[in-house]
Structure 1
Amino acid sequence: MSVTDCLGESWNELRGRLLAERRVTEWAQLEPDLHGMTDPQQIRDVVADRAQFAQTDQLFAALLRLAATDGGDDRNAALLLAHLMAPAASLLARSLQDLSPDIDWVVASALWTEIRSYRWRVREHGHALGLKLDTRTAVIHELADTRGRDGRRLELPVGPDNLARLRTVDRLEAPTPRSSQPERQAAAVEALLRWARHHSVLSAPEVQLLLDFELAEPEERAHVTRLYGVTDRHLRRQCFRLKDRLRAAVAEASITALDAARPAHIDRAAPPMSARGRVFTSGGDHHPIAR
């Protein structure tokens, strides 16, 4: 098994299909940086030539605009990018192989997510490197929250007196009857997420993911997975890691979820959140808490 095998379509299969459908020619009409390109192999040859770094960066920028969900939303462009990134992704998988027996699948899934959610409106240069680093960070966050950005292991001290406080977060995660004060529960979740965002426990995209997926009704989750362009299993695993990190941070800070609602912990100027009134997004306007 390799990262390339996890993409679902080999390079030769993808190239043959894109040639038959004249996709690259169509993309060239939409993106000037792809002018003159008709064959995916032409793009691959440029990327493989280290002397053509500037053109490679332009090609990546064009394809990322096409592939992002808030851009062209083109899955074929995303798959082409995944294949172009396969050598770097394979090296990444080998360097982190101690984290999971399924590391190839995890890296491929993270790479796909980063391609589909790429911040092409913000980044102007260094797209291939940025994509590689974002993928590495996503994998480490999912599989090894006890590691830093450089992959080195970190220790998170949690005193025994704080372990009982984790139960507060567990209660928020457990399903409760609709009749058991839903408004109070939503307020507690809101306060906890505001606290996590304010103290950089969770990033804006991570808070957004919890809002979109973890708080969604069962019938809504299929819609969320389509928006994020990944599997339900991947989102569940990612949310599990985020909640685990949140529990550890709550314990270390010696607060309860309701403590987070106090003015000392949150920005009172932030707008209110309704767990039922959120809008599912994937790269567009985010919920106020996630900003």
Structure 2
Amino acid sequence: MSSIIHVGIEPSNLAEIVEGEIWDRWLGAEPALAGVNSLAELDALRGSATDGPLGALVRLAACDGGDDEVAGIAVVHQLEGGVRQLIRQFRNLTDDVETVVVEALWEQIRTFPWQRRTQSYAANLIYDTRAAVIALLLPDTTRRGPKPVVLIDPQSGLLDVVAGSREPGTDEDLCDARDQLADLLSWAVATNAITPEDARLLVELVAADRGALDTQGRQWARGACSVAAVAKVAQHRGLCTKTVFRRRDQALASLRATAGRYLSEVA
């Protein structure tokens, strides 16, 4: 099922709706779209070439910008790859993960602070959507009663991977670790081992490090212990790096202290 179903218009139908009058209106409002002639051309762009046109759509879609919901739907289409990645990451936390992720993304698009964020639109939207989904789903697991089923190999060394003290050998290991991390943090919040804010911080750090892995061509993930990830998260949150280091270290210490209990309960 395409994630776009949750905003009501299929990609092909959207292209037809936008072509002509709407596209001309968007061009008049946003010169950054001048280099592309259609949504299909924008979808074919890769890398940094997408940032300017996508930013134009984001400004058009924001409530305090153009307040154009059709532009917002176009942004959702453009970010479908990132949406699907989030759906895979959080699929064990809710039966309706697709709806949750797309609705969280929609909120981020409509409230995007375009006046102070002027680049890296796709990365910022997916980053903020991930944080919003964590904020919604992890606290919910503490109110449901029964603990979620956790699928993890007790010998996997997940805590070591998260903390960056063991290097996973393949991309598949990284994907597995991300999925297991969501389960681990869900359990830790449900049992009050860490707070929801601790969980969100660790997820952001691991995601930031994974982003560096993709863009910098590093061979190994460093997990939450990546200095670059700490700096990125600190900048995004408007905090000093020492504060992020301190909160991260406290959260990891709590997870390590409860590791034996976690493995005994889920094994």
Q: TM-score, normalised by structure 1?
A: 0.49
| Corresponding residue of 1:32 | 31
Alignment coverage as a number of residue pairs: 155
Deviation at 1:17, TM superposition (A): 1.1
Structure 1's unaligned 5+ residue stretches are: 160-198, 201-291
- Partners of 1:124 and 1:85 in 2: CA distance: 17
| Corresponding residue of 1:4 | 4
Deviates more, 1:75-84 or 1:150-159: 150-159
Deviation at 1:99, TM superposition (A): 0.7
Contact 1:37 1:43 in 2 (8 A): yes
One of 84, 89, 94 as aligned partner of 2:78: 84
- Partners of 1:106 and 1:156 in 2: CA distance: 20
Mapping of residues 24-103 of structure 1, within 5 Å: 24-46=23-45, 49-50=46-47, 53=48, 55-103=49-97
Deviation at 1:4, TM superposition (A): 2.2
Contact 1:99 1:143 in 2 (8 A): yes
Deviation at 1:156, TM superposition (A): 7.0
Q: CA distance change for structure 1 residues 106 and 25 in 2, over 3 Å: closer, same or farther?
A: same
1:79-114 deviation digits (Å, cap 9, x = unpaired)? 000100111101110111001110001111111111
One of 109, 121, 134 as aligned partner of 1:115: 109
Q: CA distance change for structure 1 residues 11 and 2 in 2, over 3 Å: closer, same or farther?
A: closer
Q: CA distance change for structure 1 residues 158 and 87 in 2, over 3 Å: closer, same or farther?
A: closer
Contact 1:25 1:37 in 2 (8 A): no
Q: CA distance change for structure 1 residues 99 and 26 in 2, over 3 Å: closer, same or farther?
A: same
Paired amino acid for 2:34: H
| Corresponding residue of 1:22 | 21
- Partners of 1:123 and 1:40 in 2: CA distance: 23
Paired amino acid for 2:18: L
- Partners of 2:51 and 2:72 in 1: CA distance: 16
- Partners of 1:87 and 1:157 in 2: CA distance: 33
Q: TM-score, normalised by structure 2?
A: 0.53
1:192-244 deviation digits (Å, cap 9, x = unpaired)? xxxxxxx99xxxxxxxxxxxxxxxxxxxxxxxxxxxxxxxxxxxxxxxxxxxx
- Partners of 1:100 and 1:2 in 2: CA distance: 18
SS of 2:3 mapped into structure 1: coil
- Partners of 1:158 and 1:101 in 2: CA distance: 23
Contact 2:138 2:189 in 1 (8 A): no
Q: CA distance change for structure 1 residues 95 and 33 in 2, over 3 Å: closer, same or farther?
A: same
Contact 1:33 1:58 in 2 (8 A): yes
RMSD: 2.8
- Partners of 2:192 and 2:44 in 1: CA distance: 51
1:168-191 deviation digits (Å, cap 9, x = unpaired)? xxxxxxxxxxxxxxxxxxxxxxxx
Paired amino acid for 1:100: T
Mapping of residues 1-291 of structure 1, within 5 Å: 1-19=1-19, 21-46=20-45, 49-50=46-47, 53=48, 55-145=49-139, 151=182, 153=185, 154-155=188-189
Larger RCO: Structure 1 or Structure 2 (Cα < 8 Å, ≥ 6 residues apart)? Answer: 1
Contact 1:57 1:125 in 2 (8 A): yes
Deviation at 1:61, TM superposition (A): 1.4
Paired amino acid for 1:78: G
SS of 1:97 mapped into structure 2: coil
- Partners of 1:158 and 1:11 in 2: CA distance: 43
Structure 2's unaligned 5+ residue stretches are: 143-177, 199-267
- Partners of 1:13 and 1:93 in 2: CA distance: 24
- Partners of 2:75 and 2:98 in 1: CA distance: 17
1:244-291 deviation digits (Å, cap 9, x = unpaired)? xxxxxxxxxxxxxxxxxxxxxxxxxxxxxxxxxxxxxxxxxxxxxxxx
Paired amino acid for 2:82: A
Structure (1 or 2) with the larger CA radius of gyration: 1
Deviation at 1:115, TM superposition (A): 0.4
Deviation at 1:2, TM superposition (A): 3.8
1:149-184 deviation digits (Å, cap 9, x = unpaired)? 97451447769xxxxxxxxxxxxxxxxxxxxxxxxx
